[in-house]
Amino acid sequence: MLQFVDVEDIESFGVCVEGYRPNDETETVLRNWHSTTIEKRITSTLLHSHSGSVYELRGSIDRDLAFQLGYPAELIAMFANGFPENWKSTLKEFFYVVLVSLPAI
C-alpha cells in the first residue's frame, strides 16, 4: 500500500510503502511494516529508501484497501504489480490534484 508522507506542499512530497513481512526467514507470522521515504525505483519490485534499505515488493497491491482509502482505479492499476518507471511524477500529479481539491482552511 502507498502512504504519503511530508505532504505540506508538492516539493516536500514523499511516499513510503506499507505491508506485512516476517521478522526473519523462518517466521510464518507476518507483522505490519512500512518503509522510510522511497527515493529510487531499481525495478518495479525493488525499491531503494531514504534510509538506504532496498525493499522487494512481493504480491500485488491490496485493491480493496486501496479503494477504501480513496485511491482511484487508474492509479491502483498503475501500481498493481509494483512501481512503474514514472512512479514519482504519477504520484506527484495525484497528490497535486488531491491538494488543490481540498477546501482552504
**Alpha-carbon Rg for the chain in angstroms:** 14
Half-sphere exposure of 9 (CA within 13 A, CB side): 1
Instruction: Report the pLDDT value the prediction gives residue 70, as an integer from 0 to 100.
Output: 84
Average pLDDT of the residues of the chain: 81
Half-sphere exposure of 103 (CA within 13 A, CB side): 1
Dist. CA 81–CA 44, nearest whole Å: 7
In DSSP terms, which residues pair with 32 in a beta bridge?
Answer: 20
Dist. CA 37–CA 49, nearest whole Å: 6
Instruction: Report the pLDDT value the prediction gives residue 12, as an integer from 0 to 100.
Output: 65
Instruction: Report the pLDDT value the prediction gives residue 73, as an integer from 0 to 100.
Output: 92
Does residue 1 carry a pLDDT above 70? Answer: no
pLDDT confidence bin for 102, thresholds 50/70/90: low
Instruction: Report the pLDDT value the prediction gives residue 99, as an integer from 0 to 100.
Output: 72
Dist. CA 45–CA 84, nearest whole Å: 9
Instruction: Report the pLDDT value the prediction gives residue 8, as an integer from 0 to 100.
Output: 47
Instruction: Report the pLDDT value the prediction gives residue 60, as an integer from 0 to 100.
Output: 84
Q: What is the mean pLDDT of residues 67-78?
A: 90
Residue 47's domain spans which residues?
2-101
Tally of structural domains, the chain: 1
